[in-house]
Structure 1
């Protein structure tokens, strides 16, 4: 009897295994996929919404030069530590400059609040805002997206496994979606949502049809997310893109000059900053100067010529004593234009993941794709629950015999 039913349904063993995997992998990873997707959806417009609500990030552009890193460092240290001290654990880690209408940003590690930012007017040194990163709404969203608000050692592997399962679900879902015959009825079922049907049918179409339309974008988002999830995937991804090259380690340069360490240089960070201004006089994007404290620390400069994306960033290091440029930065240790095609794609990974590589249009695409991905565990669960309830609701009625009618004459 069972074999005849299977033949009637026309499902092969491979198809039944595929469907079984899709069901149980979906049920086990549903909550993870929902949280990661909905937080990714909220994070899509992080830059735009932050700029809209945090007006202290902006200043009125003036026709005069910025204050130097050492000047802004002294102002930030006074604001952060009260007495202007900048030694030991009390230290400003770096200064970031933006376009002419953007505030400068000083950063340090606060004993209580952790990573803290001070926004300063780069023209006159006025402090605009001091805020801890942990109090930022989008930081909260990012922690949920990356580690489910759990300790990183616990949450991050869970998210990585959940995303890997989600990639498998996309593939098994496509196999389930694929029609056996491409007739008109099957095409309508596969590509259209029947809005005049009952709730169960609409829910099924939302899962089946929307899942198909979002599949390619969802697959791209999932695979780019796995680059942070697993080292083996990140290395394999780079190896594939570059035709067999090994992913270089991200290392900072080391100040190992033979000059006496008591040699006095007047604000070496300022000299590096002045050099960067000569190389990039247009003042677009952002330039961050990171200070050197330990004897082997280099002066680091992170230059990004375009705001809103990160793939063009350049990480450069300078000896704190001689100011000679040092090697470092991994794949970001050279200009984007000088990178190979595979290296460029790898560097674009984050911007592809959030859609920023296509500007505002790409962010909208990532937003709606993430929203659909967040809905799939819900609609999928409802499909399973409906079938389960239907099966459990079936009751076999006991066989009853009708009594013959008694003749009227009797």
Structure 2
């Protein structure tokens, strides 16, 4: 293949103001760097590099990888795109992305290599931190799962006995105290169910599929008792997710808005008996890197926002306090992030980011 037969420049789209470029003439051995390459490697512009010098900057464990890639390119014209470690004279490790493509003469012979070079240390550190967080999450979830299984088993058996005795007692007498006991049993069952859900949903998401966000929103809306709530949906995005678990996220966020939001902005304690009649507008929209769920209710005080994702946090009289904790677990299991802010109407706004589109 001659230069004239080449497709569009393979480096197009990889070059910007923070990307260095380089080129080597294989006949003369002359290697040229742009200023950005000098800057990344901490060298003065007076430094004259050689190909061997270039290899020398790579971490000892990665040097053989770049050398093999360059050899293959010279022999076959195979381009490379690698993320490798380099090391400063002081021993500091940093990450770079290096891309190399062949340069051909008019006879189709490879006479050189050119490419781009970029410092990707910040991204790599974020990825490593995310991996560490996910490993931590998996360990915590294993412990939580074991605990939840034991607790649910140990609680359900005596609870079943208590419910049976309560039914017998209700046949023998009519007492308001029995109603209170029945309500307590119902709450205990809800707590056990949510505890098991919390343990199950925190497991790392290994398999995702492309899903239309609007379709999941519609399914979630149908499965929640939304009363007089109004949905405003602005999304045509397809995202990569575990659809079952994301639907649970949407259900819990919608339910949270319905149970705690009202357009008259009364405190939740004043609204407690009127949730089924209160009208709240819930907006679900695309944002950069994800989506947001907002409402026009009273919102959540800034001082309380850090604690809302913790197990047991609830301002509702009958709430288990696991709803938003489950949301946070599923979001983390996807490798996403969630932030709670204030909506334009003064209500709650949950922003989920780091979401890949399909």
Structure 1 or 2: more strand by fraction: 2
Structures share fold, TM-score greater than 0.5: no
* Higher RCO structure (Cα 8 Å, ≥6 apart): 1
TM-score, L = length of structure 2: 0.25
TM-score, L = length of structure 1: 0.23
